């Protein structure tokens, strides 16, 4: 399916310096709904349009990976009805969108624990999306689902123990190779919506040198133009990685 809303890339964006991998904390769905006198779940539903538009924006920029924070390990403490809605919504989202994204060359993967808390029907749809799109190379959409940055590091350490790696051989490379998706480059840019200034346990290992951009836009109002503005802000920054820019 072609981009439903093709948008010219601003001349201010230097295409050769677009971040290869961007992470997005999709926040503000509940507040968006409450401000309109709606149930919180209405905000989650409205966020689907934002997600699809952002994916196409990333594709138009030539990004190689986009990681979105869909459901955290902490979200299980939300009201039961909201958690149930989110499980059904994410399952329906995959059913509605996976073939569209597949046609546009997007590989879908998931980061997070696929444990007993995730309904089997949701896991089935996740596996179907991964299998359908596994050979696509245009861009990877990494959906962080039942994900926590600390949990990811814990799971990596557990793999080290399971692999019987000696203490002398444990280094950053050994840990990184056991993260959920070590084949993805570390994100160069992390965007958080809704005016909150925190990371909320997102990509803690991978974001060590990422640039952070915070926007007051609530996630259901976020569009590719907001992504473009975040990339423009990224390109204005000097990335020193601990060194000194001459």
Would you name the residues annotated as active-site residues?
Answer: 27, 75
In this structure, the chain runs to a length of 246
Query: Do the beta carbons of residue 220 and residue 31 sit within 8 Å?
Result: no
Distances in whole angstroms, Cα of residue 93 to Cα of each of 4, 21, 126, 174: 17, 22, 10, 35
Neighbours of 93 (CB within 10 A): 20
Which of 45, 48, 57 lies closest to 3 in space, CA to CA?
Answer: 57
Residue with tokens 């990422």: 210
* Partners of 66 in the β-ladder: 22, 141
Q: Say how far apart CA 228 and CA 84 lie, in whole Å.
A: 33
């Amino acid at each position: 399916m072609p981009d439903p809303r093709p948008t010219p890339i601003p001349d201010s964006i230097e295409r050769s310096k677009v971040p290869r991998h961007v992470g997005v904390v999709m926040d503000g769905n509940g507040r968006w709904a409450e401000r309109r006198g709606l149930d919180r779940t209405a905000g989650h539903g409205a966020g689907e349009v934002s997600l699809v538009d952002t994916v196409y924006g990333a594709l138009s920029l030539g990004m190689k990976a986009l990681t979105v924070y869909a459901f955290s390990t902490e979200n299980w403490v939300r009201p039961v009805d909201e958690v149930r809605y989110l499980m059904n919504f994410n399952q329906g989202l995959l059913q509605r969108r996976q073939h569209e994204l597949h046609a546009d060359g997007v590989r879908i993967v998931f980061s997070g624990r696929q444990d007993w808390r995730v309904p089997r029907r949701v896991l089935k749809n996740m596996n179907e999306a991964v299998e359908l799109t596994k050979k696509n190379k245009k861009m990877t959409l990494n959906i962080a689902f039942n994900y926590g940055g600390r949990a990811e590091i814990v799971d990596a350490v557990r793999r080290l123990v399971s692999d019987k790696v000696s203490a002398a051989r444990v280094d950053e490379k050994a840990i990184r190779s056991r993260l959920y998706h070590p084949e993805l480059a570390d994100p160069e840019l992390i965007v958080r919506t809704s005016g909150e200034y925190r990371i909320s346990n997102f990509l803690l290992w991978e974001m060590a040198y990422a640039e952070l951009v915070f926007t007051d836009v609530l996630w259901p109002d976020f569009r590719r133009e907001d992504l473009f503005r975040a990339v423009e802000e990224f390109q204005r920054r000097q990335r020193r990685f601990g060194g000194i820019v001459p």
